[in-house]
Amino acid sequence: MNTRDWPIRSKLTALVVAPVSALLALWIFATTLTFGPALDLLSARTLFYDLGRPGEAVVVELQRERRLTVQQLAGNDELPALSEQRQRTDRALAELRHRVAGERLRDAADDLLDSRVDHLLGELNALPAGRGFVDGRQVDRAGAIGLYSGMIDAAFHTFAAMANLPDHDFNRQARALTALGRSRELLTRADALLAGVLASGRYAEGEHAQLVQTIGNQRFLTDTAVADLPAAARSAYQRLAEGEAFVRLRALQDALVRADPAEPPALDAGAWQASQGAVQRDLRDFELAQFDGLAERSVPVAVGILARLGAAGVLGLAAVVVSVLVALRGGRSLAERLSGVRTAALEMAEHRLPDVVARLRRGEEVDVAREAPPLEYGRDEIGQVGHAFNEVRRTAVRAAVDEVTLRRGLNEVFLNIARRSQGLVHRQLALLDKMERRTEDPDDLAELFQVDHLATRLRRHAEDLVILAGAAAGRGWRNPVAMLDVIRGAISEVESYERVDVVEVQPAATVGPAVGDIIHLLAELIENATAFSPPGTRVTVRGQRLPNGYAVEITDRGLGLSDPAIEEANERLATPPEFDPADSARLGLFVVARLADRHGVRVRLRRAVPNGTTAVVLVPSDLVTAEPSPDLGPEGSTDSRRMAKVTRLSTVPRSRAAGRTTRERGDAETAVLPLVPSRSVPADPTAGGDGLPRRVRQRGPAVHPRPADPDAPAPRAPEEARRLMSALQAGTARGRRDGTVPGPATADPASAAPPAPAALPQSPTATERDA
């Protein structure tokens, strides 16, 4: 059992309870050990008067009925005295059953005595059936003697169970008197056996041997019982045994033992009956007198034991109470003082110190002396611990002040560097935008788009620093932006954008102020999906309108995360922790959590089927609106230009040797019509062709007629040329990925124009940043 984690009060309670419980257990044990024998002595009187006296009366009546039964079986006539004796026996049995059924006797008896009493009652219940066998002369004299002797033996077994007193002298005397009663029973058994012999005039087979054995057992039991009697009782019995009746009966027994069993017994029946009756009466009176004296002496002895028990119990209980009071008083004092130290420590750790840190982060001034006042706990060991804790508290508050000051300075450094980097990146993107507008060579334009893509990713990393510093990135729109364009803008900020497929996006739009942060959030998740999945796999993005918002699912086919890792990541995303510079490996999740918390967006990770990970982004309904129409706003407006940038087709670099020049492409270029922003339609593999997805042709203001003369092409606008070359580059990349090299462009615009992957958003101009 580990007790190191127990509370202080529990440990002190255990220290108090263990010895006090042991002392109390010893007191209870000693009290019970003494109280039990006293109760046994008090119950001895109850047992004697409620069981001993009625049981002894039943034994006497059964002995008389046994003698008359044997006489009747030895003769041929019915004995009227037997019927009268049976009535007396039944009255004695009824009195015994009445006494035994009382609760007082059962409460005083132990388990052994209870079982013996039940056995005696069972034997007595067989008496009516035995009488029926006797009346029908279905048993002989030996059987009748065995019937009654079994009942009497059960009674003496019950009497022996009563002799279980705690006092050794009382117990030995009770056993001696019980043995003396059994010797008297053997004397009456010999009388019953001899009565049958005298009535029939001869010994039956084995009766003389049984008579001799019974007389020998009776004398042995008598000598053994008398030896265990107290001196006074033994002297009284010796005087009784020296009487005339005892001497005459012993002489008659000797004559019976020496007689020839083949001849009729030469015995004076009158002398035997008179001597045997006198001895029976004297022995019974002696036993009853001794039992009465034993029962009366048990009461004073029990009272004396109870008196001593009471004195010892009161003293022991007083000692227990004093021990408990002393232990409780000392334990309570220690517990209160230690609890005071604990309360102060918890209050400092859970309330004061966090409050100080929060106030410092809000820019408030903190007085260390007031926030960590000294506490007094005495001069003993606990007081010394309290003094040390006071020093620890002051040091902790001072360290918190220094740490928050350092963190505030670090955030300022982050923000300063990020703002400078943002300004440079915005200028770089503006310069690239001008260069792209002036350039018409496809290869140069592709390389410029590559640089534009790198600058766009650099802008996102600069925004990460702004987010880490706790500030807003500053990129936003006035009008809602279609969710498809938001997803394309996020894909364009990812390095491996060519591996991302937009599977299905239901129509919806995001309100302008949240567009920049939503693009950044999705870009971080998409970049994680491409970084932690094999290069040959695809990352799919789908969008779905829900009653409570708009859900964007980003699924990769990598190895995936374990359940504990997913649970830990979801916890970080739900409750963004404080930024820890040491935990830079999960910087993307931290940025996602910060952006999601800022706009109330819910982000959760889960296992993908059959493998990989799916990130579900739920944009709340207050940030979702209806998708704007393509011709929303004037063509030259700021939001229109910025929407064109986030929906612009992305490019991939090509080798100059592998591609054809503008002049070599000739009419194939002029046959490709400029495309307005639209959704891609997945290619049908069964339809033949080059395996590239087909764009559904739409009418729009961006489509311009081509000159009829190929030798004198009309000048094209920069936006038109950029869309044209982006379409060619994207189609070539898609064909290479699908394993099919596209052939020369045809004159059919529907078959010549490949679909657009995610667009590369450009940096906003000064006017866009102000928006």
Q: Which residue has the tokens 């500030």?
A: 471
What is the pTM for the complete model shown? 0.42
Lowest mean pLDDT of 122-131, 232-241, 630-639, name the range. Answer: 630-639
Cβ pair 179, 163 in contact under 8 A: no
If you average pLDDT over residues 155-182, what whole number do you get? 81
Instruction: Identify which of 220, 74, 230 has the alpha carbon closest to the alpha carbon of residue 167.
Output: 230
Indicate the pLDDT class of residue 554, thresholds 50, 70 and 90. Answer: very high
- What residue type is 57 in one-letter code? A
If you average pLDDT over residues 95-112, what whole number do you get? 82
- Cα(603)–Cα(453) distance, integer angstroms: 26
If you average pLDDT over residues 362-370, what whole number do you get? 72
Q: What is the pLDDT of residue 738?
A: 60
**Helix and strand element counts for the chain (H, E):** 26, 10
Q: How confident is the model over 689-701, as pLDDT tens digits?
A: 333 344 444 433 4
Indicate the pLDDT class of residue 540, thresholds 50, 70 and 90. Answer: very high
**DSSP secondary-structure letter at 136?**
T
Sign of torsion, CA 265 267 269 272? negative
Q: How confident is the model over 503-536, as pLDDT tens digits?
A: 889 999 999 888 888 998 999 899 889 988 898 8
Indicate the pLDDT class of residue 764, thresholds 50, 70 and 90. Answer: very low
Instruction: Identify which of 469, 532, 463 has the alpha carbon closest to the alpha carbon of residue 495.
Output: 532
- Cα(388)–Cα(442) distance, integer angstroms: 75
Cis-peptide, bond into residue 682, ω within 30° of zero? no
Q: What's CA 177's distance to the chain center, in Å?
A: 64
Which of 708 and 425 is assigned the larger pLDDT?
Answer: 425
Measured CA to CA in angstroms, residue 576 lies from 350, 544, 571, 595 at distances of 19, 26, 8, 10
CA atoms within 13 A on the CB side of 636: 0
Q: Which residues 6+ apart lie within 8 Å of 280 measured at CB?
A: 184, 187, 188
- Cα(222)–Cα(199) distance, integer angstroms: 28
Q: How confident is the model over 386-407, as pLDDT tens digits?
A: 778 778 877 877 787 777 777 7
- Cα(302)–Cα(754) distance, integer angstroms: 114
Indicate the pLDDT class of residue 771, thresholds 50, 70 and 90. Answer: very low
Residue 616 main-chain phi, psi, to 5 deg: -110, 120
A 10 A CB-CB count for 263 gives 9
If you average pLDDT over residues 10-38, what whole number do you get? 73
Instruction: Identify which of 545, 466, 563 has the alpha carbon closest to the alpha carbon of residue 508.
Output: 545
- Cα(238)–Cα(644) distance, integer angstroms: 137
- pLDDT above 90: percentage of residues in the chain: 12
- DSSP letters, 265-334, are P---HHHHHHHHHHHHHHHHHHHHHHHHHHHHHHHHHHHHHHHHHHHHHHHHHHHHHHHHHHHHHHHHHH
Say what angle helices 168-200 and 207-227 make with each other, to 10 degrees.
160
Burial tier of 709 (Cβ tally within 10 Å: 0-12, 13-18, 19+): exposed
Q: Which residues 6+ apart lie within 8 Å of 717 measured at CB?
A: 704
Q: What is the dihedral of CA 583, 588, 591, 597, to 10 degrees?
A: -100
- DSSP letters, 368-420, are HHHHS------SSHHHHHHHHHHHHHHHHHHHHHHHHHHHHHHHHHHHHHHHH
Instruction: Identify which of 426, 441, 425 has the alpha carbon closest to the alpha carbon of residue 651.
Output: 441
Pairing of strands 613-620, 549-555: antiparallel
- What residue type is 258 in one-letter code? R
Instruction: Identify which of 475, 470, 482, 478 has the alpha carbon closest to the alpha carbon of residue 460.
Output: 475
Lowest mean pLDDT of 414-428, 530-544, 731-745, name the range. Answer: 731-745
Q: What's CA 528's distance to the chain center, in Å?
A: 38
